[in-house]
Amino acid sequence: MSTPFHIPDHALLRAKLTRLRRRETDTVTFRRALAEVGAILTSEALRDLDEVETGIETPVGPMRAPALAAPEPCLVAILRAGLGLLEGARMVLPEAPVGHLGLVRDEHTLRPTEYVVRLPRDLPARGALVLDPMLATGGSAIQAIHRVKQAGATLIRFACVVAAPEGLAAFRAAHPDVPVTAGALDERLNEKGYIVPGLGDAGDRCFGTE
């Protein structure tokens, strides 16, 4: 099986991504755009959730109407930058339980170190959408999905804003069963492991710590 990879064809998504990429975008604008992109990517990543038909009454009369067949999936944010996407994701799924995975990449080895694991109890029953703006070498996302699987989830999806070909290939090799929804697939990684052209350090830009 090969990981399904989907870039939504949406003018708003592209325009908001351009805002995120601009060097001069300030922290407030960056954070707002990241949340908006989080809402769009969450909707797109979950567009194929199972539905059932149910009988309802509108103010005008009865009808058969679609509803979700199962409780909403959990949202899992990879700290820190995933918190920016989470803000928008929760607008779309306000009732979803939220998990946090703290991962930070060593700037020399580019390997992630885990510093927080806090996952919802009903992850196995609900499944999860894991959120991180950047899929660079793929190390952080691969580790995060590993943790979510370890916690018992089988139905897992991953959403990111920008992916690098290197990271996508590594992710596909590690988790071929996990579909990826992304805002864009960029050219490559540079010698420091940053995505080119990318948008810089998503965590620093979101939290004003540059």
Contacts of 45 (CB under 8 A, 6+ apart): 6, 129, 157, 158, 159, 179, 181
Q: Which stretch binds ligand URA (CB under 6 A): 25-33, 90-98, 149-157, 187-195?
A: 187-195
For residue 38, state whether it binds Mg ion (rule: CB under 5 A): no
For residue 84, state whether it binds Mg ion (rule: CB under 5 A): no
186 is in an annotated binding site: no
Burial label for 204, CB within 10 Å (0-12, 13-18, 19+), is middle
Whether 25 is a known active-site residue: answer: no
At residue 129, the 3 state secondary structure works out as: strand
Helix (H) or strand (E) holding 54: strand 51-57
Shortest distance, position 200 Cβ to ligand URA, whole Å? 6
CB atoms within 10 A of CB 31: 19
Task: Give me 169's structure tokens.
Answer: 């290939």
If the CB atoms of residues 49 and 207 are measured against ligand PRP, the closer one turns out to be: 207
- Using CB under 6 A, pick the residue from 5, 49, 194, 207 that binds ligand URA: 194
Burial label for 78, CB within 10 Å (0-12, 13-18, 19+), is buried
For residue 198, state whether it binds ligand URA (rule: CB under 6 A): yes
For residue 193, state whether it binds Mg ion (rule: CB under 5 A): no
Task: Determine the Cα–Cα distance for residues 55 and 69; give it in Å rounded to an integer.
Answer: 14
Of residues 19, 32, 105, 172, which has the active-site annotation? 105
Whether 201 is a known active-site residue: answer: yes
Whether 109 is a known active-site residue: answer: yes
Task: Determine the Cα–Cα distance for residues 156 and 4; give it in Å rounded to an integer.
Answer: 12
Whether 3 is a known active-site residue: answer: no
Task: Determine the Cα–Cα distance for residues 201 and 107; give it in Å rounded to an integer.
Answer: 12
Q: Which of ligand PRP, Mg ion, ligand URA, none binds 195 (CB below 5-8 Å, type-dependent)?
A: ligand URA
For residue 201, state whether it binds Mg ion (rule: CB under 5 A): yes
Of residues 18, 54, 109, 154, which has the active-site annotation? 109
43 is in an annotated binding site: no
Positions touching ligand URA (CB under 6 A) are 81, 134, 136, 193-195, 198, 201-203
The residues that are catalytic are: 105, 109, 201, 204
Positions touching Mg ion (CB under 5 A) are 201, 203
